Structure 1
Amino acid sequence: MSAYVVFIREKTNNIEELGIYASKAPVGLAGHSLKPLAMYGTHEVIEGPDVEGVAVLEFPNMEEAKAWYYSPAYQDALQHRLKGGIYRGVMVEGLSKFETDGCKI
Structure 2
Amino acid sequence: MSAYVIFIREHSHDPEELRIYSQKAPGGLAGHPVTPLAVYGTHEVIEGPAIEGAAILEFPSIEAAKVWYYSPAYQDAVQHRLRGGTYRGIIVEGVSAAASE
TM-score range, shorter chain: over 0.9
Structure 2 unaligned blocks of 5 or more: none
Deviation at 1:11, TM superposition (A): 0.2
Residue aligning to 2:88: 88
Residue aligning to 1:71: 71
Deviation at 1:30, TM superposition (A): 1.2
Deviation at 1:36, TM superposition (A): 0.5
The alignment's C-alpha RMSD in Å is 0.5
Instruction: Give distance in 1, aligned partners of 2:34 and 2:24.
Output: 17
Instruction: Give distance in 1, aligned partners of 2:8 and 2:26.
Output: 18
For residue 95 of structure 2, give the secondary structure of its aligned residue in structure 1: coil
Deviation at 1:100, TM superposition (A): 1.1
1:10 alignment partner AA: E
Residue aligning to 2:4: 4
Instruction: Give distance in 2, aligned partners of 1:75 and 1:18.
Output: 14
Larger radius of gyration: 1
- Point out 4+ residue stretches in structure 1 off by more than 2 angstroms: none
TM-score between both structures, scaled by the size of structure 1: 0.95
2:24 alignment partner AA: K
Structure 1 unaligned blocks of 5 or more: none
1:77-96 deviations in Å (ceiling 9; x for gaps): 00000000000001000000
Deviation at 1:27, TM superposition (A): 1.1
**Matched residue pairs, number?**
101
1:21-71 deviations in Å (ceiling 9; x for gaps): 011111111110100000001000000000000100000111110000000
- Asked if 1:35 corresponds to 2:67, the answer is no
